[in-house]
Structure 1
């Protein structure tokens, strides 16, 4: 599975997150948004890594439910128990684990059907859809992670 775009998206995300320091002039609301995004991404990558293991195991269909990565208590707990650099490190480690699993994924496994269950930032279920594993990773690489990276770069003053 080609993960070149995803690797680049994560590189930009980490660079943007590292550009936000204690001295970065952001409001309390913006700082909370940064914290939320980093925790959310770290938790999301755990979900995707679990799904990647299912794909590698030969599952014909995989459920990817983002609810744990949108859960206010899980996000608050991660934020409360870590510093900004630790959240970046958690995000980096979880992304690396996902990338390692994706590198093991053959092209044929990219056709695995994914049932995607989406919850919004408030934890409410908003949609269910189906797509291939490759398409889901493409969305992660070309929309989801870059969108978060752009917002973090804006807050870091790099855009």
Structure 2
């Protein structure tokens, strides 16, 4: 597990680069599938590094709070994309399974209850037998519903929030 990423003036260029990749991933999801699907372009997003991105000060919260949240949300989406690919290909990856398991035990997750359920659904789906139709298996069906909910909340929610911000100006 990587150290937590603290967003500030010095680290903003790295965050901006990752945000560009997250927005491309969101575009790919919306355009290709209208949600999660196989081979979404998520790989440039280092979800291990940015999953718990945060700021260190009130000043940084005012300046970078929304960006830190986008890094977090994009990271959980990227992890979901990786899990979907593995399930679709009837594969398991112990490194990703262990990352999910370790993350579920992190106290930082207490502030992200919806993400906790999503991560648990990923882990549970990995525990089922391998099947190309994983969405039809009991735990796969639960994960599939989480995928739809997380897409709506984070990806579509991102676009809706931007539209609303422009309307308020």
TM-score after normalising by structure 1: 0.36
Name the structure, 1 or 2, with higher relative contact order (CA <8 Å, separation 6+): 1
Task: Identify, as 1 or 2, the structure richer in helix.
Answer: 2
Task: Identify, as 1 or 2, the structure richer in strand.
Answer: 1
